[in-house]
Amino acid sequence: MIKLKITGMTCEHCASTVKKALETVRGVERVSVYFPQGYAQVEGKANIEELVEAVRRAGYGAEPLQECIEIYIPKGDVYDMFIVGGGSAGFAAAIRASELGAKVLIAENSTIGGTCLNRGCIPSKYLIEIANTFYSLKSSPFVSVEKAQIDMRKVLEAKEELLERLRKEKYWNVLDAYPNIEYREGRGRFLGKGKAIVGEREVSFWKALISTGSRPYVPPIKGLDTVRYYTSDSIFNIDYVPEHLVVIGGGAIGLELSQAFSRMGSKVTVVEALPEILTGEEPELRERLKESLKREGIEIITGAVVDEVKQEGEIIYVKVRAGNTNRVISGTDLLVATGRKPNTGGVGLELVGVKTNAKGFIQTNEFMQTTNKDIYAAGDCVGKFMLVTVAAMEGGIAAENALLGNKREVDYRHIPHAVFTDPELAGVGLKEEEAIRMGYSVDVRILEFSKVPRALISFKHDGLIKTVIDKETKRILGIHILAPHSAELIHKAVLLVKYGLTLDDVIKTVDVYPTLSESIKLGAQAFVKDVSKLSCCAE
């Protein structure tokens, strides 16, 4: 099979013209042209130069991409790849498998798009954006806003319109663009080797991918099943602003939603069982974020265990034990944000020899292969990094390995992450303690964002940037940022860490001025100079 990159196509008619041109070449047996993706696949024994010339004569450009490896294509109602789960990991796998020429079936028993689109990244950031816009007006020293309120019903309506649009653009339209992918609504379950059932229909497959995602973990708190509470899945359907929201959980989800509702007008109390919020982050950054949230009026109780909850009328009582102190918090609404658990039950894993760990996450190797050599897994159900970007990466790699053999390993070392509070907290690479444990001779610097001119201009200079380097080589090991828009800034840091650049490499670059991204250069300069004594943009 020959794969050609086609340039100049602007519509399906163009694709049809290219297809006809390629079919005139001697040795061509079958041609498939994919307009949205910009390539053509040619089966047969045609000469590549003659194919390129035929496309050129038709008025378009062509160049060989690669000679695709042939994969096993079963006959009849047998799928090359059966995918259980229609979220980010499942669709990334389906697209990659289709690009390789495979016949794919996706089974999804819930809403297309998975957690990120429907109950996670998109609705949460949408809510946060609305809350931040509202708050910026109320807190501005130059704008007078009296008796402003948020209409949550309109917020819900607009959110649903946005989600419906993205489902169409990012999922339904994708299915239209890849004719080799079949999508069925219904629960997918394995029956045995090469056999599964979707709804009531049995199917046969060669390879399979499990991408069933995750759901909120609800801890066994006494009385919880008798009270009205929200999870990180259901909170986005709330049609009012709570008077007093009690949040159990001080991780990323709990803090993001706590601040959003606080900025919309709720009184918020956060209860975290661990000694600190965001325990996986650098201590200096998480402590500064905690101070910032408290200044906004959010109460944060750490090292606190919830012993019992109960509801009387509209009031929910949360009994909390922190050390030797007992306290009862009375709120109008309760959000349980204590992490997530995998959706691995009821899939028939035991029938195909796919093993899970003690928490129910599917065990995979570096190729995303499960304990069944013909079945792979990706995304939240694997539980390695529960990020949508990671799910998509894992899905694509898993599909390629399943069809072409285990060649690509998943590399988690340079994946950025972010917490979308304000200021945002983002990081990539090693943290200080991680680097020390790995045997590095470590040096660090912490730069106050008040040293960044653009932050002062924006009235948002509450933040830090922590840079971790190898003391001997000056190579950058990790960068961690608490600042406005750090989820955007961190992508500059990703390249520095991934490609092993040094302090000198960063210092000798030139930034646009004034920008927040200049903070990364200032953070590097802090190792060799006192940045408070530098003029603007000085090297």
Residues sharing a CB contact under 8 Å with residue 430, sequence separation 6 or more, in sequence order: 438, 440, 468, 477, 478
181/100 Cα distance (integer angstroms): 12
Burial class (CB in 10 A: 0-12, 13-18, 19+), 29: exposed
Q: Calculate the CA dihedral of residues 373, 377, 381, 382 and round it to 10 degrees.
A: 70
Q: Say what the pLDDT of residue 71 is.
A: 47
- Annotation marks residue 116 as catalytic: yes
Q: Say what the pLDDT of residue 376 is.
A: 98
* Residue of 214, 211, 213 whose CA lies nearest to 104: 211
If phi > 0 it is left, if psi is from -120 to 50 it is alpha, else beta; for residue 378 that is beta
Neighbours of 368 (CB within 10 A): 31
Walk along the chain (539 residues) in steps of 10 and give the mean pLDDT of each run: 86 88 94 80 91 94 71 60 96 94 93 90 93 82 74 92 92 91 95 94 94 96 96 94 97 97 97 96 97 97 96 96 92 97 96 97 97 97 93 96 91 94 97 96 96 88 95 97 96 95 94 92 92 78
Q: Say what the pLDDT of residue 135 is.
A: 86
Q: Say what the pLDDT of residue 70 is.
A: 47
Please write the tens of the pLDDT for every residue from 50-69: 999 999 999 999 998 865 55
| Furthest CA-CA distance within the chain | 85
Q: Say what the pLDDT of residue 186 is.
A: 93
Q: At what angle do helices 252-264 and 121-139 cross, to 10 degrees?
A: 40
Q: Which residues pair with 5 in a beta bridge?
A: 39, 63
Q: Which residues pair with 41 in a beta bridge?
A: 3, 32
Q: Say what the pLDDT of residue 72 is.
A: 41
The helices-and-strands tally (H runs, E runs) of the chain is 15, 26
Of 116, 264, 368, 386, which is the active-site residue? Answer: 116
- Annotation marks residue 81 as catalytic: no
Of 1, 68, 121, 152, which is the active-site residue? Answer: 121
142/139 Cα distance (integer angstroms): 9
249/27 Cα distance (integer angstroms): 64
Q: Say what the pLDDT of residue 533 is.
A: 78
Q: Say what the pLDDT of residue 77 is.
A: 61
pTM over 0.85: no
238/252 Cα distance (integer angstroms): 20
Please write the tens of the pLDDT for every residue from 428-471: 999 999 999 999 999 999 999 999 989 889 888 889 999 999 99
Q: Say what the pLDDT of residue 74 is.
A: 45
Classify strands 325-331 and 230-231 as parallel, antiparallel or unpaired: unpaired
Using CA atoms, how far residue 263 sits from 19, 109, 233, 331, 489, in Å, is: 56, 36, 20, 17, 24
- Annotation marks residue 381 as catalytic: no
- Annotation marks residue 68 as catalytic: no
Contact 410, 423 (CB under 8 A): no
- Annotation marks residue 536 as catalytic: yes
Three-point CA angle 262, 263, 269, nearest 5°: 10
Q: Is 290 helix (H, G, I), strand (E, B) or coil?
A: helix
Of 72, 240, 412, 537, which is the active-site residue? Answer: 537
- Annotation marks residue 121 as catalytic: yes
Of 34, 60, 135, 440, which is the active-site residue? Answer: 60
